[in-house]
Structure 1
Amino acid sequence: MRNPTYLEISRHRVFYFRWPLIKPCAAGSGTATSLKISLGTRVGSEALSLARHLSYVGQALMKQWSASGMRYDEIRASLRKHFQELLARRKSEMAAQGRLSVMHVGALQNGVGFAEEAIATGADILPHISDDALAIEFAEKYCLPLAPGSNAFETFKVEMRKAYRAFCAEVLAHDQSFESYDFDETAIPSASTFAKPASGPRHTLADAAAEFMAELHRSDAWVKRTEDQKRQHLELLSEILPGIHIDQVTSVDLQRVKQVLLNYPRNRNKVEATKNLSIDELLQLHGHDKLSVRTINSYLQTYAGLFSWAKRNRYVSENLFDGASVKESKKQAEAAQREAFSQTQTDLILSELLNNHRGLINKDYQKWGPLIGLYTGARLNEICQIELSDIKEDAGIWYFDINDEGDKKHLKNTASRRIVPIHDQLLALGFLEYAEGLRARGQKRLFPEFSLSAKEGYGRALGRWFNDRFLVQLGIKSKELVFHSFRHGMVTRLIQAGVEENLVKAIVGHTRQGVTQQHYFKEGYTLEQMQKALREF
């Protein structure tokens, strides 16, 4: 006789009935997972009859238990315990390894935004798994009486979204706490308050800045727009600190630079009232539009780059601008954190690109440009300068070879040079057929209608159409949501799906961190590894 799974025979040939207390309970959780009762018989038919009756009773009790659901305070307590453990783990990791990477900060910031949208609309928190599935997994892990479709189940999903939002915010707050120190006693200025002159010839700040710019121009490190921006930043620095040698710059000068930037007018040289004012006169201005915190920090990053270069060349012994930044207010940070399209917005964009409900898609690039952005996370100009010869295949995997070889192509940095598998969805939508049609017509570039702009590369037409018309017509245009949001979305969702950070960086063209990655992993990730990761998107 074949015994049912709930019947067992002891070494004395006595039948026992074993019944799971609840299916989700995992072994080793510290809670009994089953009930074992002796049936007091060695006769198989008797044991089977008794076991069937007991199993019926057990099923009825399980159904009643599940239907009873959970109290509201029990739901919150279970979520609190779960996310407290996750938070403690994150804090421990930061204590051992240091602060979060920019990529992880971005993912958490987007996580807050996605959770807020989920709370407001009932949408799923994560794009790759439904909230129903998350709730079921949670119930199974912690043995909770949550029956799908019950009131308790729906309440749990609502509270889960709130808890996830709070968790992301707590991790970000903990990371931000490392931004400063809090001492009980007044800090005593150290000898490093002032930069010590380095050995070697002395250079004025303006001369050093000019040499810095010339060297980077020769190395072709920046696109023209970025180079012009950096030059403007450095011209302002020389105006704030005129005639000074670079090795004479002190922390006092650093504070003056910050003071000027905090009151610096937007579009100073374009506004009649401000273009001829001196630095001291600018400091006295009131009621004008000022630079955003992000723009101020971009100036400070330029200055940090200059002083880092000067230190390498022994013009200074210390980079006083290293780590210099202006902290955003909570309101500003919240306004700037939504840089990725939400899942609802992504679905709307995708539907319009594929179905053209509003008649906005009139040219091939208006369809394929955003689709490539969505499914690769590539930069706008990287997409717009793709040549047909950059679409390649290796061992059955089609990929984009993103490079700066060809007709006036340009990449942001060395890490931008990479290969990216063509997503399965692009293949299914007929991308290869589109490219083959261009080859048949004798074209060399994927988007032959794009002309080169000195400041914006090949991406000007697509960027303007997408940002200023397409998003506006869809009703989702904001300062934070632009074509580049596809890139943030790719990073956010791959990290949320558990893809290793350096693999994400390899896909989107960010510099990988760590000695192992930079010096011993020069071959990089394989196409198979990247393809598997992209399938998580």
Structure 2
Amino acid sequence: MNYGELRTKVHGHFKRVLERAKARREELGPYTELEKERIDDTIQLYEMDNEDYWDLVGKDEVAKQFRSFCNATGVPQKQTRENAWVILDEIRKAWIGFHKAMLEHDKTFEKYDFSTKPSAVVSAAECAHASPSSAPVTISKKPPQALSSPLLSVLFAERKAEAEQTGQWSAKLLNDYQAWIDLFIELQGDRPVLDYRKTDARDFKNVLIELPSNRNKLPQTIGLTPREAVQAAKDHGLPTLSVSTVNKALGRLQGIPELESVGIQLLLLLHLLCVAFWVGIFSPLRSLALMPEHLTDAAELGHRFGQAAALIVPTLIVAGLWMAWLLVGNLQGLLFTGYGQALLFKVLLVGLLLTLAAANKLRFVPSMQSGDAKAARHLARSIEGEAIVVLVVLATTATLTSVLTLPS
């Protein structure tokens, strides 16, 4: 394959990608100012030296884009190192053209151009009704319809077909995506993706937490709807989905680009619920620990909290790390951007919190159960230390959400 043939394949492939992107943008409407800034930042990255750019994005992204392009165009994946760099350079330049073309397309939302021929022929009678001399026209007061968006099932079918064509998902992974998307649709209905709300995400998460594991194999739940299976699990004391399975189900929503915000909302909700549970114990436990006459009550409360924390804390950590990875996207963004470095600082603070919490659970609370009043005072001081660290964590979180911007 010569250079001209390569250029033809790159042009044809990215022209198809661009047409699909423009069609989706027509449904979604113009970019926000923040989205435009991020696209400009992305273009600046693509305009780096070819090898510098691909070194920056990392081997996994290089392999993903190279494989996707080859699968879509029929270009053999086995290439010499020199030819591979030439192909990657053309891909990089094509992405520059793609993003610039999308920004130009965005300008078409700023005005209407009536110089082109209308898509439908207007009859003479209709023209007469539109003339200034005609009778006054009654204008409908009905509100404009919201922007339309594809049904979730349709959007997932398109994403599934794309993944099958490019080899992005294995057969096992594809079936996993299909199962969780089907469950979401069964619970919340097959609706246009832009119609889903936070309440839908919260309800889906709540059902997942109480859904029995292997519900399609258990005799008590075979043939039941998800909500009926939840009730059966409560009635029969059946084991429910593990934390890792719940988090995986939430993460599978990332397979649909338009559901990315829903998936992050689910993880954020789960993360915040765990934080609220942890921080909410500080005041009552500290107060009891400082009252010698309530030493037994303080020890019992600390013990019960430790048992619950064995489930809550891992969920908090997994949801937080998963959400951070979805937001940052790669190791370079984590290590070499202000947002990523602030996130790492927050992780260190959480590590300090876990150290203090471990001391409470493994040392102070057992001593209090043995009647050691001195251990209760140590526990109270440890909780005060945890509260200070939490305040620093909250300040860091405020910086992440209001001062720093996500890596492009």
Category of TM-score, reference length = shorter chain: 0.3 to 0.5
TM-score by length of 2: 0.35
Q: Which has the higher helix share?
A: 2
Q: Which has the higher strand share?
A: 1
State which structure, 1 or 2, has the greater radius of gyration over its C-alpha atoms. 1
